[in-house]
Amino acid sequence: MAREKLAQAKADAARRGQLPRREPRRRAAGPRREGGDPQLFGRAIADLLADRGWERSAAVGGVFGRWGDIVGPDLAAHTRPESFDDGVVLIAADSTAWATQVRMLARTLVRRLNEELGDGTVTKVKVRGPQNAPRPSGGLRVTGSRGPGDTYG
């Protein structure tokens, strides 16, 4: 009975001009999409980053955004990454003690950042200590001093 129905469906299709295919359909390895077809958001962003050459900048921005997860909460509470240029990461510390601590951990930080960004991306870590207020212009003065004449008599 199923064969009769199949034969009947083929005959109906032949009368309408819609003959079934003779060879089996071949499927592509992955989904094929035309340029105007919708695509997944993550894939669209990845394609845009690749087309514009922004992959490394986006990766560095991601590392800067996850600084606390990468270096730990204690170090992240007292430091922040400021810039990345030609393999050099500039880190600002909120005290000279933390700046010294980061300088001692520089090799470990380079290794950890390269794990996140890819080997050879970070070559050096520079550390900037706290920025104090600008010094007043002029020489240093001692209260009650009369200048150089007071020592000569």
pLDDT (tens digit per residue) in 37-62: 788 888 888 888 788 887 777 778 88
Examine residue 151 and state whether it is found in any structural domain, yes or no.
no
Examine residue 29 and state whether it is found in any structural domain, yes or no.
no
Whether 79 has a pLDDT exceeding 50, the answer reads yes
Q: What is the pTM of this model?
A: 0.56
How far, in whole angstroms, is CA 111 from its chain's centroid?
Answer: 16
Share of the chain above pLDDT 90, in %: 21
Examine residue 94 and state whether it is found in any structural domain, yes or no.
yes
E strands along 1-153, which residues? 79-85, 88-93, 124-128
Question: CA 45, CA 129: separation in Å to the nearest integer?
Answer: 37
Whether 141 has a pLDDT exceeding 90, the answer reads no
**Packing angle, helices 96-104 and 106-117, rounded to 10:** 70
Higher pLDDT, 150 or 29: 29
Higher pLDDT, 78 or 31: 78
**CATH no. for residue 93?**
3.30.300
Q: What range does the domain containing 70 cover? A: 56-128
Cβ-proximal residues to 149 (8 Å cutoff; 6+ apart), any chain: none
Per-residue pLDDT band at 4 (split at 50, 70, 90)? confident
Whether 153 has a pLDDT exceeding 50, the answer reads no
